[in-house]
Amino acid sequence: MDQQVTLVNKYIEKSIDFGFEYAPKLVGGMIVLVIGLWFTKIVTKAVGRSLEKSKIDQSLIPFLRSLTNITLKVLVAITVMGMIGIQMTSFVAILGAAGLAVGMALSGTLQNFAGGVIILILKPFKIGDTIEAQGFVGTVKEITIFSTLLNTADKKLVIIPNGPLSTGALTNYSFETTRRVDWTFGISYGDDVENFKKALNDFIAEDSRILKNPEPFVGLLALASNSVNFTVRVWVNSPDYWNVFFDMNEKVYTKFPNYDLHIPFPQTDAPINKK
């Protein structure tokens, strides 16, 4: 009986010692936890308001707000566990190993995710822009965090992962308000060059979509084997590019005869010896 009483007394003493040793740590940890969670809430709200006032894409704001919130909570949890005496070295090592394994398993997805964040922040293009990337040309329909959706001219939906899209070459045809339209037209040898220039200047003058500044350019490009080739360059508003391009081709084909001009085509002279 005395031995049992002794054991109970020792247990009580150890409990009291443990309480005196760890109670301040527990209390301190709880205080830090409460303050940390309160601070996390305040910072998350501040970050959210700041992002809403910025020019950042609206679809990215919830993600950045959640990322800030989770990061701060993890830091608070690690701090509290360290204060109450939990050894964090092993925990951090396990967390790092788990993160590495997940990162390797989801490397492609994470690359697309990072690419989406970069696209939404830097905005190399926006919804409605016509772009050329990864071998496709189309109008941007939607930008998600993992991929970008394009509508091609023949109404096909193309889904491009954001990873290669953010790191590869990209042409944005809608970024500038104006574009230059280039043609190469040929006339037959013997045709009057002045007639050609008059024809092109007339075609350009009668098209109100062609801008006066920068000035249109018409110049002799090359003396080819079957034709005299000229380059023609004009500037238009970006949405008018293709309409102006096709209309000019049609005018050249249908109205060149009115200016006594001939569209050349390859031909070969085969002399015949008469005996």
- 166 and 184 inside one domain: no
Task: Give the C-alpha distances (Å, rounded to integers) separating 248 from 133, 162, 185, 230, 234.
Answer: 28, 38, 11, 14, 11
Contact between 222 and 264 (Cβ < 8 Å): no
Q: What is the pLDDT of residue 39?
A: 87
Gyration radius (Cα) of the chain, Å: 36
One domain for residues 191 and 223: yes
Strand order in the sheet with 217-223: 178-187, 228-237, 217-223
Is 80 in the same domain as 5? yes
- pLDDT the model gives residue 186: 94
Residues 6+ apart with CB under 8 A from 179: 173, 235, 236, 237, 238, 241
Predicted local confidence at residue 5, as pLDDT: 53
Whether residue 266 lies inside any domain: the answer is: no
Give domain status of residue 145, yes or no.
Answer: yes
Q: What is the pLDDT of residue 158?
A: 93
Are residues 78 and 136 part of one domain? no
User: What pLDDT score does 170 carry?
Assistant: 92
- Do 1 and 82 belong together in one domain? yes
**pLDDT for position 11:** 61
**What's the CATH number where 220 sits?**
3.30.70.100
Predicted confidence at residue 28, as pLDDT, reads 73
The residue segments making up the domain with residue 71 are: 1-86
Q: What is the pLDDT of residue 32?
A: 80
Name the domain count of the chain: 3
Same domain, 1 and 76: yes
Reading the chain (275 residues) residue by residue, the pLDDT tens digits are 555 556 555 666 665 555 555 666 677 778 888 888 888 888 888 887 887 777 666 666 676 777 788 788 878 887 777 777 666 666 666 667 666 665 665 556 778 888 888 888 888 888 889 999 999 999 999 888 888 999 998 889 999 999 889 888 999 998 889 999 999 999 999 999 999 999 999 999 999 999 999 999 999 999 998 899 999 999 999 999 999 999 999 999 999 999 999 988 766 666 666 65
Q: Where are the beta strands (DSSP E) in 81-226?
A: 130-133, 136-143, 147-151, 157-161, 170-172, 178-187, 217-223
| Closest residue by Cα to residue 216 from 196, 201, 194 | 201
Pairing, β 147-151 against β 217-223: unpaired
Q: Is the same domain home to 147 and 184?
A: no
Confirm whether pTM is higher than 0.85: no
Secondary structure letter of residue 216 according to DSSP = P
Are the C-beta atoms of 174 and 129 separated by less than 8 Å? yes
Domain boundary residue among 172, 206, 227?
Answer: 172
pLDDT, position 250: 95
